[in-house]
Amino acid sequence: MKEIIKLTSLPILFASLCCLSPIFLVLLGLSTVSFASSLADTFYGDYKWYFRITGLIFLFASLAWYFYKSKGICTIEKAKKQRNKIINTILIVFITGVLGYIFFLYVIVHYTGVLLKLWT
C-alpha cells in the first residue's frame, strides 16, 4: 500500500495544480484573494485538461521508474515473465490515482479554497 501511495502522490499533486496553485499563492502572501480566485477560474476552466494530462504523464513515468528501479524489470523478457503482476499493478495504480485525484481536488482542495474564500 505504501508503494501505491508513493507512486500516485506526486502525479495527483501535479494534476491538481490548476486549483492548488492559487491556494499556494494566497497562503504565501504572493497574491490577493481576488486574483487567486480569477486565476483558479482560468486554470480550471481553460487549462484543467493540460494539468490532468500532465498528472497522467507523471503517473506513467512513476510506474516506469518503479518497474525499472524497484523491480528490476528492464527487458521485454522480464516484462513477459511478470506480465500479470505488471498489469495488476498498473490497474491498481491507475484506479488509485483517479480516486485520489477526485478526493484530493474535489474535497481537500475545494474546502481549503472555500475556507480561504477563494470560491464558494
Predicted confidence (pLDDT) per residue in 65-110, tens digit: 999 998 899 889 999 999 999 999 999 999 999 999 999 999 999 9
pTM of the model: 0.89
Average pLDDT over residues 31-35: 92
Is the pLDDT assigned to residue 120 strictly greater than 80?
no
2: cell is 505504501
- The crossing angle, in degrees rounded to 10, of helices 83-103 and 48-65 is 150
Q: Can you tell me the mean pLDDT for 15-23?
A: 94
CA 20 to chain centre: 11
Cα(109)–Cα(23) distance, integer angstroms: 8
Query: What's the pLDDT at 84?
Result: 95
Question: Strand, coil or helix: what is 79?
Answer: helix
pLDDT at 81: 93
- pLDDT class for 1, splitting at 50, 70, 90? confident
The confidence score (pLDDT) of residue 10 equals 95
pLDDT given at position 82: 93
